[in-house]
Amino acid sequence: MGYKVAVAGATGAVGREILRILAERNFPADEVVALASSRSVGREVSFGEDKVLKVQNLETFDFKGCDIALFSPGAEISAKYAPKAARERCVVVDNTSHFRMEPGVPLVVPEVNADAVYKARRGIIANPNCSTAQLVVALKPLHELFRIKRVVVSTYQAVSGAGKDGMDELFAQTKGSFVHDSPDIAQFTKQIAFNVIPHIDRFLEDGSTKEEWKMAVETRKILDPDIRVLATCVRVPVFIGHSEAVSIECEKPVDLEKAWEALRRAPGVVVQDKREDGGYVTPIESVGEDPVYVSRLRVDPSVEHGLAFWCVADNLRKGAALNTVQIAECLAERNLLGPHSELWKKHERPLEPQ
């Protein structure tokens, strides 16, 4: 017997990718419902190679009878409608930032902390920020081996992290540069074509940005509350694929061969690291792929017990849609879906709408 699955935000880039991945991975669904705002009602979205779903209205949809809802409609919309779904004993996996640091809402990357799904006592599980998701997948085996104390990470984040409008702006500015058009700047604070912007999300009082704060607090919530994290998040003129240059400081002496071997064995990681021209992975090679790719692994001589590496992943897949579906698979494998599952037996009062 399969499940009834709702996908909220089904017309967006991540929503469409969720539908594609549900079909690719043969998630055990008897029925899949595509939801979006009232202006998208009646539009058609693809589900797999030969199925088309007509979009229904999220605002009026009755979640009673749904087993799981995969949300990616924007933080304010999730804040309103995710608790509505949870009150009907429909487990919500939310891809927005709204619930990530809420008490009682686990923040899950299945390769790292899959059993945290049991802690979803309020019916909602959060998907982390895309840059955090790939980082913790690479950090997990190294943390188990050497106990990480500190992480310094610089990100090179694709414009798709800002949605379809961000991708359209890069395309328009790139095309316009060849005919000497003045760049139209709307989605980013400066021209993104042929440029890099060390600013993602809003600035905080300490000079960091909200994106950098997210990486720090989310890494600690998922992996270990004692790890110190310094992030510098940069938007780059790449359509899809986030890259990260990472340096870690560990409690134990690092062994390069053991690090390589641990990463090669780690779920969700592919090591491609040859010390030669082209012996590493770049973001364009990660597009449409599921793993987090690790390259440029080397000892960091600037700190005691230091290690450095480069990692790349498709931010629309592992950073968002794939991780969301993997959480759904974790719930299904543990029999935590359905109104009579163990999850609801220990259920606390669901989150109230905001």
Catalytic positions are 130, 242
157 is in an annotated binding site: yes
The response to whether 161 counts as a known ligand-binding position is: yes
Local structure of 53: helix, strand or coil: strand
Q: How far apart are CA 238 and CA 158, in angstroms?
A: 5
d(Cα 77, Cα 218) in Å, to the nearest integer? Answer: 21
CB 312 within 8 A of CB 281: yes
Q: Which amino acid is located at 44 in the chain?
A: E
11 marked among binding-site residues: yes
40 marked ligand binding residue? yes
Tokens representing 42 are 């009646």
Residues 6+ apart with CB under 8 A from 124: 82, 83, 86, 91, 92, 94, 99, 102, 105, 350, 351
- 173 has binding-site annotation: no
Q: Which of 35, 33, 98, 99 is nearest to 67 (CA)?
A: 33
Q: Torsions phi, psi of 277, nearest 5?
A: -55, 125
Comparing CA positions, the residue from 212, 168, 164, 173 lying closest to residue 192 is 173
Q: Please indicate if the annotation marks 39 as binding a ligand.
A: yes
Determine whether the annotation assigns residue 160 to a binding site.
yes
- The reply, when asked if residue 65 is annotated as ligand binding, is no
> DSSP alpha helices (H): ranges in 229-353?
256-265, 283-286, 322-333, 342-345
The binding site for phosphate comprises 100
The binding site for substrate comprises 157, 235
The binding site for NADP(+) comprises 11-14, 39-40, 160-161, 183, 315
The binding site comprises 11-14, 39-40, 100, 157, 160-161, 183, 235, 315
